[in-house]
Amino acid sequence: STIRRFVVLSDEQAAAIALWVIHTYFIREPEEEQLFEFSPILFITSPEKQCGKSTLRDCVQRLVCNPFNSMNASQASIFRTIDTQRPTLLLDEFDNFELDRKSLIGILNSGYEHDGKVTRQGGKNFQETQSFSTWCAKVLAGIGNLPNTLQSRCITIKLRRKFINEKVERK
């Protein structure tokens, strides 16, 4: 009901979001026993601008466990933040991420499973192999569709512009 005060959603969409928000409180450190093996990505999309994607993302951000919001983070900052802080990652304007998008998609894909990791070289002269956990709850918001591999890991919430007779509050 809190989210529906600000965004036009179906009953089914509101229920799915509410359950997904609750799931963010049960993500544990990767080495701990997990309550579940997978963490579906919440994908907020619409066919055009001004359908409520950012508003919904803002509402979800206020409800989830340990939110980390970014509009244009580097892939290194994303996997390092996930590894050290285990946030609920919220990426807005995902359709505008262009630099090294394939690597970012790989990071997001791997974090769907509790043992997901990325491996990078580091240390002096890059002689050390370092693994970073990518396991966390994730929200992506943007116009259009995602690549098939990423889309298959999502709970998709498709928004539309509200009709003239539909009323919502402003944030």
pLDDT digits (tens, 9 = 90+) for 8-63: 888 899 999 999 999 999 998 877 888 888 999 999 988 677 777 888 898 999 99
Q: Please tell me the distance from the alpha carbon of residue 112 to that of residue 107, in angstroms, as a whole number.
A: 9
Average pLDDT over residues 78-87: 91
Residue 154: left if φ>0, alpha if ψ -120 to 50, beta else—which one?
A: beta
pLDDT (0 to 100) of residue 97: 59
CB 150 within 8 A of CB 108: yes
Q: Please tell me the distance from the alpha carbon of residue 137 to that of residue 19, in angstroms, as a whole number.
A: 12
Three-class secondary structure of residue 50 per DSSP = coil
Q: How many beta carbons lie within 10 A of that of residue 109, not counting itself? A: 17
Average pLDDT over residues 127-150: 88
pLDDT (0 to 100) of residue 47: 64
pLDDT (0 to 100) of residue 171: 66
pLDDT (0 to 100) of residue 99: 45
